[in-house]
Amino acid sequence: MSTEKEKELAAKAAIKYIEDGMTIGLGTGSTAAHMITALAEEVAKGLNIVGIPSSESTKKLALANGIPLTDFANISAIDINIDGTDEFDPYLQLIKGGGGALLREKILAFNSKLNIIIADCHKQVSRLGKFKLPIETIPFATPILIKKLRIMNLHPILREKDNSPFITDEGNYILDLDITHISNVAQLENTLKQLPGIVETGLFLDIADIVIIGRGDTTEVFKR
Catalytic residue numbers, as ranges? 105
Greatest C-alpha distance within the chain: 55
Residues interacting with ligand 5RP, by CB under 6 A?
27-31, 83-86, 96-102, 105
Provide the b/e sequence for 63-100 (b: ≥16 CB within 10 Å): eebebeeeeeeeeeebbbbbbbbbbbbeebbbbbbbbb
**Which one, 67 or 208, has the nearer CB to ligand 5RP?**
208
Q: What is the spatial distance between Cα 17 and Cα 81, in angstroms, rounded to a whole number?
A: 10
**Which one, 43 or 109, has the nearer CB to ligand 5RP?**
109
In whole angstroms, the minimum distance from the beta carbon of 121 to ligand 5RP comes to 12
In whole angstroms, the minimum distance from the beta carbon of 117 to ligand 5RP comes to 8
In whole angstroms, the minimum distance from the beta carbon of 58 to ligand 5RP comes to 9
DSSP 19: -
**Which one, 44 or 64, has the nearer CB to ligand 5RP?**
64
Residues forming beta bridges with residue 212, ordered by sequence position: 118, 221
98 is known to lie in a ligand binding site: yes
Q: What is the spatial distance between Cα 106 and Cα 179, in angstroms, rounded to a whole number?
A: 20
DSSP assignment of 98-138: TTS-HHHHHHHHHTEEEEEEEEEGGGB-SSTTSSPEEEEE-
7 is known to lie in a ligand binding site: no
Q: What is the spatial distance between Cα 39 and Cα 11, in angstroms, rounded to a whole number?
A: 9
Angle at 131 between CA 127 and CA 132, to 5 degrees: 115
209 is known to lie in a ligand binding site: no
In whole angstroms, the minimum distance from the beta carbon of 174 to ligand 5RP comes to 9
In whole angstroms, the minimum distance from the beta carbon of 212 to ligand 5RP comes to 13
**Which one, 50 or 95, has the nearer CB to ligand 5RP?**
95
Q: Strand, coil or helix: what is 9?
A: helix
Residues forming beta bridges with residue 114, ordered by sequence position: 80
97 is known to lie in a ligand binding site: yes
Q: Are 48 and 75 a contacting pair, CB within 8 Å? A: no
**Which one, 84 or 156, has the nearer CB to ligand 5RP?**
84
29 is known to lie in a ligand binding site: yes
31 is known to lie in a ligand binding site: yes
Binding residues: 28-31, 83-86, 96-99, 123
Binding residues for substrate: 28-31, 83-86, 96-99, 123
